Amino acid sequence: MRVIRSVRSIQQFIKKAKLAGKTVGFVPTMGALHDGHRSLLRRCRRENDIVVLSVFVNPGQFGPKEDFAKYPRREQTDKKLAKKEKVDIMFLPSVKEMYPGGYLTYIDVEKMTRVLCGKSRPGHFKGVTTVVGKLLNIVMPDTLYLGQKDAQQAAALTRMTRDLNFPVIVKICPTVREADGLAMSSRNQYLTERARGEAAVLYRSLKEGRQSVIAGNHSVTAIICKIRSRITRESSGRIDYVECVDAGTVMPLKKIQGKTMIALAVWFGKTRLIDNIIVHA
Amino acid sequence: MRVIRSVRSIQQFIKKAKLAGKTVGFVPTMGALHDGHRSLLRRCRRENDIVVLSVFVNPGQFGPKEDFAKYPRREQTDKKLAKKEKVDIMFLPSVKEMYPGGYLTYIDVEKMTRVLCGKSRPGHFKGVTTVVGKLLNIVMPDTLYLGQKDAQQAAALTRMTRDLNFPVIVKICPTVREADGLAMSSRNQYLTERARGEAAVLYRSLKEGRQSVIAGNHSVTAIICKIRSRITRESSGRIDYVECVDAGTVMPLKKIQGKTMIALAVWFGKTRLIDNIIVHA
């Protein structure tokens, strides 16, 4: 496995590889890799000649009061895991390499980044779309692998690649969960033991919501109430949002119909967890 | 010469060509081609295996009260000229092909697009950077050719390609002028005969400004006044702006030093003309 830290070097490497007819798959991450990332890397490995993993804790997607400084950095363990998953190139740029002096350019996906997490994290998705736009130009992948756990991010990035005509296919892979159903996330390690135990309520409540839709309940308010009350009853979590949205556009629905996503964000202490589930109504 | 109207077709064509090791040069235009475009195409022809010309009157860069509807469309004469200049691919997408339903994504270069023309044309450069970002992903050129006449556009696009790490080299080519010095522009044809005669004052006044700087006058106010009064004296043009800016960042200077650009925009009737000159102080 090559570890590359400069934009120019990786662009040169990839250009050569593509000239030789190799296909390139790409998994962008902020590191602190877990089994969710691993499942992306495995699919990427199966489907491409060259697997590129980027690890970059992107300051652009953290708000001023968010956890940029304390976000877990695990370069050594990430490297070991990447080797084990047969990554070819691990791209580890510095903040200065990605945002040199005089930086002025941003990519924004309007509307769909203003709802759900976009409401409580203004500017977050602009940071995400900008850095992934940059990474797509740097890595020039044929296929980009994203996790369904960050559903709004996946939707906004899919919209961005289509709107800006990036020559890339986006594949969104299922959320990987702990034994009790909690969605894997690098932020789970922030949780106290008690909160970690309680956090399983998120997926439990989402499954209950889905069951209710399948059973014929198409009222957005009823589904949301059911989920909210279960979370409140069974945990100390403070709800940021619970919403029913169109799974493609992530825009709120008035009535549950078509491919619907039930999405939520809940605070446990200073840690904000997100999760979602898809249901066809 | 191939005429291609679909994004998918041109992307497929270019991918094949690049796999075969061909270099691709790209000249994006809004058509109504003149000798300025021609000089870009000629340099592009000399330096690349494949020359791509795009003609797309981009609605995104026109304000609601601007000349989108009446902007000259000359598909047949443009095609003839393109053939003469040995263009390989002429890309002629429709508005719907470039902005299909549900379009939401924009590229914005901050700060440097808010001054000069950005002040009187809010949103204009966001339209330009977005469409050129799209075109770079569609055409995947090794080299992009732009004209110095649209200096702020060239500066913003150069900034964008660097900031977003587009794997492309930007080459900015000298302004081509009519015999009397007027910068070539598709909008010159809007001018009345009288205005067309008067419009030569723009370049005359810029040259006078440059001479004055070379002679040792480094006062921004003095240079601007000299140019403004000449334009007012010798024409019926209404001045939008005359400014002295840093040639790289296009930000206004307090004192003329280093590579300086003197830039102006002047209305003749309903037609707004721009021009600029570089001087090293």
Cβ within 8 Å, pair B165-A7: yes
- Name the superfamily (CATH) of residues B2-173: HUPs (3.40.50.620)
Look at B164 and A137 and tell me if their CB atoms are within 8 Å.
Answer: yes
Chain A residue with minimum CA distance to B164:
A134
Among positive and negative, which fits the CA dihedral B147, B151, B155, B157? negative
Cross-chain CB nearest to A105 (options B11, B137, B163): B163
> What does the pLDDT read at residue B229?
98
Domain boundaries, chain A: 2-173, 186-280
Q: What is the SS3 assignment for B54?
A: strand
For residue B23, the chain A residue with the least C-alpha distance is: A19
Among B9, B163, B166, B251, most A C-beta atoms within 10 A, so best to mutate, is B163
Give the mean pLDDT of B193-221: 98
Q: B195 to chain A nearest CA, in Å?
A: 38
| pTM reported for the whole predicted model | 0.97
Q: Stretch B47-71: mean pLDDT, rounded?
A: 97
| Digit-coded pLDDT (tens) for A62-116 | 999 999 999 999 999 999 999 999 999 999 999 999 999 999 999 999 999 999 9
The per-residue DSSP string of chain A comes to -EEE--HHHHHHHHHHHHHTT--EEEEEE-SS--HHHHHHHHHHHHH-SEEEEEE---GGGS-TTSSTTTS---HHHHHHHHHHTT-SEEE---HHHHS-TT--EEEEE-STTSSTHHHHSTTHHHHHHHHHHHHHHHH--SEEEEETTSHHHHHHHHHHHHHTT-S-EEEEEPPPB-TTSPBP-GGGGGS-HHHHHHTTHHHHHHHHHHHHHHTT--BHHHHHHHHHHHHHHH--PEEEEEEEEETTT-PBPSB--SEEEEEEEEEETTEEEEEEEEEE-
Q: Which regions of chain A are under pLDDT 50?
A: none
Residue B191, amino acid: L
Which of A106, A108, A137 lies at the smallest CB-CB distance from B166? A137
Tell me which H or E stretch contains B259: strand B259-268
Q: What is the rounded average pLDDT of the residues B188-214?
A: 98
Task: Let me know if A16 is exposed, middle or buried by CB neighbors in 10 A (0-12, 13-18, 19+).
Answer: exposed
The C-alpha of A138 sits at a distance from chain B's nearest C-alpha, in angstroms, of 6
CA distance A242 to A222: 12
B7 pLDDT band, cuts 50/70/90, is very high
Give the ipTM of the model, two decimals please. 0.97
Where do the H-state alpha helices sit in B25-94?
Answer: 35-47, 75-84
CATH number of A186-280: 3.30.1300.10
The residue-averaged pLDDT of B114-122 equals: 97
- The stretch B101-105 carries a mean pLDDT of 97
* Interchain CB contacts (distance < 8 Å): A and B: 84
| Mean pLDDT score, B10-39 | 98
CB-based contact, A138 to chain B, within 8 Å = yes
User: Do residue A21 and residue B19 have CB atoms under 8 angstroms apart?
Assistant: yes
Q: Nearest CA of chain B to the CA of A206: how many Å? A: 28
Residue B37 appears among annotated catalytic residues: yes
- Res B29: pLDDT: 98
Reported as half-sphere exposure (CB side, CA atoms, 13 A), residue A55 has a value of 25
Is residue B223 very low, low, confident or very high in pLDDT (cuts 50, 70, 90)?
A: very high
Q: What order do you get walking across the sheet with B50-55 strand by strand?
A: B2-4, B89-91, B50-55, B24-29, B143-147, B169-173
Q: Residue with structure tokens 């350019």?
A: A105
Enzyme catalytic residues of A = 37
